[in-house]
A and B are shown apart, each in its own frame.
Chain A
């Protein structure tokens, strides 16, 4: 069945370091791919999305490119800030159906 596998955490980085959180997926057809972010004590909120191969989603300095050949959607940011500390979830939604499949989440802590 459809699923998402993302990099285990926790991840701790210094401010201004580069970030990559790996995400790979298994799906039939052409799913939409998402990154959601969860700040402490809050619900998840959409960070970025991509709906077809080679699309790049971007928001708040974060980017992820939909790579069909490697079935990946890695999250990247060139220079992290303390305010980026949160849990990041990769997610997939098949275009045939009304489901979301979430990864297990990767906790990021950025230290000054």
Chain B
């Protein structure tokens, strides 16, 4: 298996623009997580899905952030409108069976909002 695949690897955009980050989890994994990593706040869980259903979105910073998982092999994280403080590395991770199992992380999307 190719592992968790995220795209793009790098995204540079201007404040106010819409940004869409994409993730393909490992086939057969039931859980998908979106994390944000910054120097100041470390690794923060934004939202996670179980069988394509959002379970906990309490970590989503505000209404500008939204996430979807239309099927078992694809998820998006959208920021609209983007702001400079959204600049971070965004990771997608997936796991099989439950979150107490091993998490497999993608390589991340480095987002810079100018």
Contact = CB atoms under 8 A, between A and B. Distances in A.
B49 to A, nearest CB: 10
Contacts of B82: none
B34 interface: no
Interface string A25-57: 000000010101000011111100100000000
Given A98-B31, A98-B48, A46 B42 contact: no
Nearest to A92: B100
Given A43-B107, A44-B105, A98 B50 contact: yes
State which size class the interface on B falls in: 20 to 34
B103 A100 contact: yes
Nearest to A42: B107
A103 B106 CA distance: 19
A43 B4 contact: yes
A61 interface: no
Contact of B102 (A46, A99, A103): A46
Interface of A: 32, 34, 36, 41-46, 49, 89, 93-95, 97-100, 102-105
Given A43-B106, A99-B48, A99-B56, 12 more contacts: A32-B100, A41-B107, A43-B107, A94-B100, A95-B100, A98-B31, A98-B48, A98-B50, A99-B45, A99-B99, A104-B43, A105-B42
